[in-house]
Structures are given as structure tokens and as C-alpha cells.
Structure 1
Amino acid sequence: MQELYTQSSTGASSLEVSKVLRNTYALLAMTIAFSAVTATIAMAINFPYMGLWMLLPYIGLLYAVEKTKNSTAGIFWVFALTGYLGLTLGPILSFYIGTTGIEPIIMALGGTALIFFGLSGYVLVTRKDMSFATGFIMTGFLVAFVAMMASAFLDISGLSLAVSCMFLVLSSLLIMWQTSAIIHGGETNYISATVTLYVSLYNIFTILLSFLGASDD
């Protein structure tokens, strides 16, 4: 009887994990498509580059997602957040298209997709538990954010490149961590998971684009 109960619990757990994964990837695909639309609109209307000021609406929208993630309103705020980030991509894409052409953008998209599918696929196949990296990733992002702010106000040679490399590595680790959290039951909210993965992809894409654009310049 105990064995039957254990097998039933395991089956239910597997179904829940599959549901969270399915909903996360479906919502992630939709938000990426929506961001592409808003980025195109931003390019068409010459939406201005906001620099660090983009963080203020971003933090507000992120807070709204966190507060509503357990309700249907969370879906609205996820699209509001990702749509806004798509808008902030518009002027960046316009700049690179005007200076280096579309090739770096295509290569950055391909590199981002390769990183995402490679890292998430690795965790899904090996079922590696990445919970041990939680503290390292959170601390790393805090340090990277402080370094980013310092780079914006101080003229320190090489700091901007170091910050970009830090965000690239940490965002890649975050993809593995979030995928691991889903398959091991540590993350059961697909809205939170979607936002984490989307922001990681946003970081990776913009960083790769800056590297490729600089190399082509």
C-alpha cells in the first residue's frame, strides 16, 4: 500500500513538473514574439534610447509581476514587462542596423538560442540539481549590478567589458538554475519561471550583440 502511494505521488509530481515546463515554454515563446512586435514598433517610431533610466519602469513592472504571479493578472503584467523590454530593444537594434548591418543581430539571435537550448537541454537530460548555485548566482548579480552602476559613472578601462562578461555568465547559469528548479519541484509558478528565463535571454542577446557589433565596427 505504501509503495502504491509512493508511485502515485511520483506520478502526480511528474505531471506537475511537465505542466509547469509546458506552460513556461509556451508563455516564454509568446512573450518573445510580443517583444519582437514591440521592438519593431519602437524602431518604426524612433523610440529613444533610455540608458539606465530604463531600470525604473523595469523594476516597477517586475514588482507588479511578483505581486500578481499567483493570479490571472500576472499574465497581463508579464506581457507588460516583456513588451516594455522589447521597446527598449528597438533603439539598440536601430543603432546596429545603421552602423554594422543586420548580420550581428542574426548572429546574436542564433547565439542566444544556442546557449538557451544547450544549457536547458543539458539540465533536462542530466536532471542536474543546480540548487547549490543559488547563493553564488544571487550574490553574483548583486556584485554585477553594483559594478554596472560604477561603470556608468566612472571611466575605468575594461570595467564595462568585465561587467558584460559577468552578466553573460550569470544569465547562462540562471537558465540552468531555473530549469533545474522546475524539474526538481523548487519552482511551481510558471509566471515567475518565464520572467526569469526571459530576462536571462534578454541579457544574453544584448551582450552578444554588443560583442559582435563591436567586432564588426
Structure 2
Amino acid sequence: MREPQNYQFEQSTRAVRTEVNSVLRNTYGLLALTLAFSGLVAYFSQQMNMPHPGIMLTLIGFYGLFFLTMKLRNSAWGLLTTFALTGFMGYTLGPILNAYMGMANGASVIASAFAMTAFVFTGLSAFVLISRKDMSFLSSFITVGFFVLLAAMVAGFVFEISGLQLAISAGFVLFSSAAILYQTSAIIHGGERNYIMATISLYVSIYNLFLSLLSILGFASND
């Protein structure tokens, strides 16, 4: 009896490993494409000096495309909405980059934020992939962090609190880093089997990480 059971266990383990590798490969492949597409849209948005849509339209556009992608995540249409979502976020990034380019050392700040974002994402992803550690314990931290940051942003709109924006940016760096660790762990431990949703999660974390580092470096430059 043991041999058939061992064989079935090995077959099951091999199938799970194959599925995990497939999700990882598809996720990072799609992530690379969406980042490149988003960067291209951001470049054209910046070069054409297009206006920022504003916070309300940005939220409506993001969450509208996000929930549409969730609904279509198991079909080919989900890929189309994924590129629509990341392209839209790239468009919102262009005017922000233009604002920083107006600074005396704006190009240097943007380049530094980009390099730091790439370093943090690569380092955190490599840590989880190599160590194979289960980061599911970060779920509570991410949930609490979301509501804390949301409350801080609302307070920032209502009150003028010195240093609050810097604190929010620092909080988003920690929040995004935790989200990268959690999402990568979810893929390799079976908590995430849809590569489209995994891609969006990692993309949003990278986007927020970049903007937060851009804000911190801009503040540090006294501009």
C-alpha cells in the first residue's frame, strides 16, 4: 500500500510544483511587459505635458479597471484590462514626473527613486524565492497598514500637519515592501494561483513604492 501512496504523493507534489513555477513564470513575464508598457505611456504623457486627471478620476479609473480585471481574470480579456489598468497608471505618472523635472535636480531624484525601487523589489523578491519562507503572517500588518495610511491621507486632506506627507510616504514604503513579500510568498506557497491578479498586486506595490521614494527624495533635496 505504501508504494502507490508514495507514488501518488510524488505525483501530487510534482503537479503542485509545476503549477507554482507556471504562475511564477507567467507573473514575472506579464509584470515585465506591463511595467514596460506603463513606462512607455508615462514617457509620452510626460513629453506631451498632459494634465493630471486629479485624485478623484484617478481613484475611479484605477478601481474601475481593477474590479473589471478581477471579474475577467480567468479569460483573455483579463490581459487586456491589465494593460489598460497599468497604462492608465502610467498616464497618471507622467504629470508627476514633469513636476519633479521642474526641480533643479529633478532628473537625479527620479533616477535615484527608480534605482532604489528596482533594488528593493529585486532584493525582496529574491529573498522570498531563495529562502522559501512563508510570509502569510504579514496579512494582518498589511490590513492594519492599509487603514492607518487611509486615515493619515484623509487627515492630510483635512488638516495641515507638518511632516505628515513625509510620514505617509515612509509608511507606504513599508506597506509596499510588505505587500511584495506577502504576494511573492503567496505564489510559491499556493495562496495565489491567478497570475493576472498576482501581476496587478506586484505592479501596484512597485508603483506606490516608486512614488513614495520619489516623495521622500524630493523632500530630502529641499525642493
Common fold, TM-score beyond 0.5? yes
Are residues 1:10 and 2:13 paired? Answer: yes
Q: Which residue is equivalent to 1:65? A: 69
Aligned counterparts, 1:62-141, within 5 A: 62-99=66-103, 100-141=105-146
Q: Name which of structure 1's ranges 141-150 and 6-15 shifts more when overlaid on structure 2.
A: 141-150
Structure 1 residue 49 displacement after superposition = 2.3
Q: 2:44 aligns with which of 32, 41, 44?
A: 41
Report the structure number with the largest CA radius of gyration.
2
Aligned counterparts, 1:145-164, within 5 A: 145-164=150-169
Structure 1 residue 112 displacement after superposition = 0.4
Structure 2 distance, partners of 1:209, 1:98, is 14
Are residues 1:215 and 2:220 paired? Answer: yes
3-state secondary structure, aligned to 2:91 = helix
When the two structures are superposed, what TM-score results if normalisation uses the length of structure 2? 0.94
Q: Which residue is equivalent to 1:178? A: 183
Q: What is the RMSD computed on CA atoms of the aligned residues?
A: 1.1
Structure 1 residue 130 displacement after superposition = 0.9
1:107-136, Cα deviation, whole Å (9 max, x unpaired)? 111100110011111011111101122122
Letter of the structure 2 residue corresponding to residue 2 of structure 1: Q
Q: Give aligned pairs, total.
A: 217
When the two structures are superposed, what TM-score results if normalisation uses the length of structure 1? 0.96
Structure 1 segments, 4+ long, off by >6 Å, are none
Q: Which residue is equivalent to 1:166? A: 171
Letter of the structure 2 residue corresponding to residue 8 of structure 1: Q
Q: Name which of structure 1's ranges 94-103 and 174-183 shifts more when overlaid on structure 2.
A: 94-103
Q: In structure 2, list runs of 5 or more residues that go unmatched.
A: none
3-state secondary structure, aligned to 1:102 = helix
Q: Which residue is equivalent to 1:23? A: 26
Structure 1 residue 51 displacement after superposition = 3.8
Letter of the structure 2 residue corresponding to residue 18 of structure 1: N
Structure 2 distance, partners of 1:58, 1:142, is 18
Structure 2 distance, partners of 1:143, 1:163, is 9
Structure 1 residue 69 displacement after superposition = 0.8
Structure 1 residue 101 displacement after superposition = 3.0
* Preserved contact between residue 129 and residue 180 of structure 1 (Cα < 8 Å): yes
Structure 2 distance, partners of 1:133, 1:200, is 14
* Preserved contact between residue 69 and residue 191 of structure 1 (Cα < 8 Å): yes
Letter of the structure 1 residue corresponding to residue 31 of structure 2: L
Q: Identity over the aligned pairs, expressed in percent?
A: 50
1:48-80, Cα deviation, whole Å (9 max, x unpaired)? 123422112111111111111111111011101
